[in-house]
Amino acid sequence: MPLPTRAGLDAVPAYRQGRSAPAGASKLSSNESPHPPLASVVQAVRDRLDGINRYPDMSAAALRERLAERYGVDASEVTVGAGSVEIASQLIHAVAGDGDEVIFAWRSFEAYPSLVRIAGATPVPVPLDADHGHDLDAMLAAITPRTRLIFVCNPNNPTGTVVGAEELERFVSAVPHDVLVVIDEAYVHFDRTESRGAGIELFRRHPHVAVLHTFSKAYGLAGLRIGYAIAPAAVAENQRKVAVPFGVTDLAQVAALASLDAEDELATRIDDVVAQRDRLHAVLTAAGWPAVRSQANFVWVPSADRTAELEGLLQEGGVIARAFAGEGIRISSGSAEDIDRVEAALAASAPLAVDAERVEVGA
């Protein structure tokens, strides 16, 4: 007799991790920091290794208090999870279930549709606009009485485009207050527009906004898995109910606190990532590929039916990127040496006709 299986899981694709790179190649497929951990953060983790026989503080009280003080919110409005993926999952499970709908732009963060289906809800993807950004009017039009949550990934993964603060304000104001709007700011530290960090201000002004942040990207803690949300207290309380017990390790909490103590040092690294991102964009456009101007730590190339060709060129040059068949390729911002390798790999590529207006999206 066959073992029982849950109905509906056939429609849930397994999340694909960015491909590993062979020795000597550049792994630009996972939006990781190209910099090693800060010495002070490593030391803080080492100092706690003798205590790994004990369970972590499940409430992450010290970190939540620190974040609450930083953003001027109440600690009851701060939740933590094993990276932004688990935080997104918490938010979905906190407000949506069978028969409910969750709206998000598409293409956007690859985990959104799977997380929604796992919660038993229905994903409602809304196509990006012609400039690879969120089509907010279409997202508003997609709201139904069954809508419970809307994700706005800002900057958007994988396109790197940004919804401006004024546009976002108008959108949030137009969304009914019984629908939670989640501003996913996983890449906010790399945003050099005036809209940077608009989610926190929206949270302060609107009762139906939550903001999602992570320590994986700018802080370089991807391997320790820790992220957080700032959400209305009632939503945050439900998040804690659906969170995996003890899901955030003590070492991750300690590393996050140490990283907050070292933000000046981290800022220099972030500036370097941004500089290499902008250089990567210039390298791609100079080689004739239609790269989109990015405000994240990666660059999106909407290469459409030439995606396999571009992926092949990069691989031959020792660069592993994230390809979406028939759509495009996302290339993470790496070290100067990584971008050198991209430039060399593209040296033999044939120029594409580039629409200059679309290349400058998000500038």
CATH of the domain at 334: 3.90.1150.10
User: What are the backbone angles phi and psi of residue 166, rounded to the nearest 5°?
Assistant: -70, -40
How many domains does the structure of the chain reveal?
Answer: 2
- Mapped onto helix, strand or coil, the DSSP state of residue 71 is helix
Q: Which residues contact 252 (CB under 8 A, 6 or more apart)?
A: 56, 82, 215, 221, 224, 225, 226
Q: Which residues contact 305 (CB under 8 A, 6 or more apart)?
A: 326
User: What are the backbone angles phi and psi of residue 301, rounded to the nearest 5°?
Assistant: -115, 105
Asked if 93 and 242 touch (Cβ cutoff 8 Å), the reply is: yes
pLDDT in tens, 233-291: 999 999 999 999 999 999 999 999 999 999 999 999 999 999 999 999 999 999 999 99
Residue 234 belongs to a domain: yes
Residue with tokens 């997609």: 142
Strands 319-320 and 26-27: parallel
Q: What is the pLDDT of residue 195?
A: 87
The residue-averaged pLDDT of 343-350 equals 80
Parent domain of 212? 39-261
Residue 115 belongs to a domain: yes
- Which has the higher per-residue pLDDT, 346 or 356? 346
Query: Is 186 in the same domain as 298?
Result: no
Q: What is the pLDDT of residue 17?
A: 62
Residue 351 has pLDDT above 70, yes or no: no
Strands 147-153 and 101-106: parallel
pLDDT in tens, 6-40: 777 777 776 666 666 666 789 999 999 999 999 99
Among residues 207, 239, 261, the one where a domain terminates is 261
pTM of the model: 0.92
Asked if 171 and 276 touch (Cβ cutoff 8 Å), the reply is: no
Query: If you ran DSSP here, which 8-state letter would residue 9 be given?
Result: G
| Burial category of 58 from C-beta neighbours within 10 Å (exposed 0-12, middle 13-18, buried 19 and up) | middle
Distance CA 250, CA 38 (A): 18
pLDDT in tens, 71-107: 999 999 999 999 999 999 999 999 999 999 999 999 9
Query: Is 247 in the same domain as 279?
Result: no
Length of the chain equals 363
